Each structure stands twice: as structure tokens, then as C-alpha cells.
Chains A and B, each alone.
Chain A
């Protein structure tokens, strides 16, 4: 079945550091890929998505590229801020299967 594996946290970075959170997936067919973010005490919200191979999703300085050859969708940001502290979830959705999430990576950014 479909599954997502992402790096376990927590990840602690200093402000303005470079961020990478790795995500790989297993799926049949051509899934759509997503990153969702969960701030403390809130529900998840979509950060970015890519619906086909080589697509790059981007939002708020975050980027991720759909790599079919390596079945990956790594999240990157060039310069993190304290306000980026949250839990990040990689997810995929197939033709007849709703969103399947990775276990989440907690990011803490310190000033």
C-alpha cells in the first residue's frame, strides 16, 4: 500500500540556518505529494504540493520537488525563522486513496 517515510525529529536549528526535511514515499501509480504544517494547538494546514513528477511546490520560502526517480519529496528552506517552529508532515494521495501521512518532524528554531 501507499506509505510515507520522513526523517524523525526533533530538528533544532538556529535562526537563518538552512533546513532540509527528508521524505520518501512508496506508492502505486502517480500520487500527488504534499507538505502540511501543524503549529502548536492547531490543526494541519497545507504548506505546498506537487501533483506530477518534476513539479516544484513552493510557499513562504519553503520548496519541495517531486522526484519520481528517487521517490522523494524533500522539504527545504534557505533561511528559517523562529516562526517556522512547528511539526511538518509529508503526505501523499493516490487515485482512490485519501491522504497518507508520515509521522511528522518537529522543528524548533532558536533565536
Chain B
């Protein structure tokens, strides 16, 4: 158990809909990361937060947004969903977000857009 909790584990929805994925980092970790894993693209970095502030942005679509709340949990919002958004979404956390740090990953949310 990594200590990172993601909910829900599975999500099935239709095109055009909006969903929210939730992540609770390990106790004491200030930095949260979101990754998208698909068969064709592999693991793609989406966005990183540190103590409530956005720190780095990757290949995140404009239809997607995220935030980190004062209690350090994070939510990833995906809107106007398309079939191609079907993927496994991982959240990870680390203490400070520095380059040498180990990331702790949750078990992921499997999103299926039908």
C-alpha cells in the first residue's frame, strides 16, 4: 500500500460528459502529480501541484483542469469527454516535489468513455 488513495477505481461514462477524479496523497506529502496511462501514449505527465499551487504543466488538454485543496487532496476534472480520453489516470505524491524524490503512486482510476 503506497498510502495514496484514488477514487473511484472505475468510472464509466458517455461522450460529452464531465467527471471528477479524486486523490488523497500520503500523509505529509505536499506535492501531487497526475498522469494518464494509455496503450498508445504510455504514461503522460499531466500536471503537478505543490502545497496548493500549480508547479508544472505537461500535456494536459484545455478540457481538463485540476486543483489541490488546503487539505492537500487533489481533484482532476475532465469535461466534454471523448472516446480517446479512455485511459488509466494515476495520481502520485511526494514530500517536496524535487527531482531526486521517489514518487508514490495510487492504484489509479480506470476511465471508460462510451
Contacts and interface: CB of A to CB of B under 8 A. Distances in A.
Given A97-B56, A98-B33, A98-B45, A43 B100 contact: no
Nearest to A100: B45
Nearest to A104: B42
A46 to B, nearest CB: 5
Q: Give the interface size bracket for B toward A.
A: 20 to 34
B43 interface: yes
Q: Give the interface size bracket for A toward B.
A: 20 to 34
Contact of B43 (A32, A96, A101): A101
A31 B99 contact: yes
B99 A93 contact: yes
Contacts of B8: none
A93 B100 contact: yes
B98 to A, nearest CB: 9
Contacts of B92: 43-44
A102 B44 CA distance: 9
Interface in B92-109: 92, 97, 99-100, 102-108
Contacts of A43: 2, 4, 90, 92, 105-108
Interface of A: 31-32, 41-46, 49, 51, 89, 93-104
Given A43-B2, A104-B43, 7 more contacts: A31-B99, A44-B92, A51-B100, A94-B99, A97-B99, A98-B56, A101-B45
Interface of B: 2, 4, 33, 35, 42-43, 45, 48, 56, 58, 90, 92, 97, 99-100, 102-108
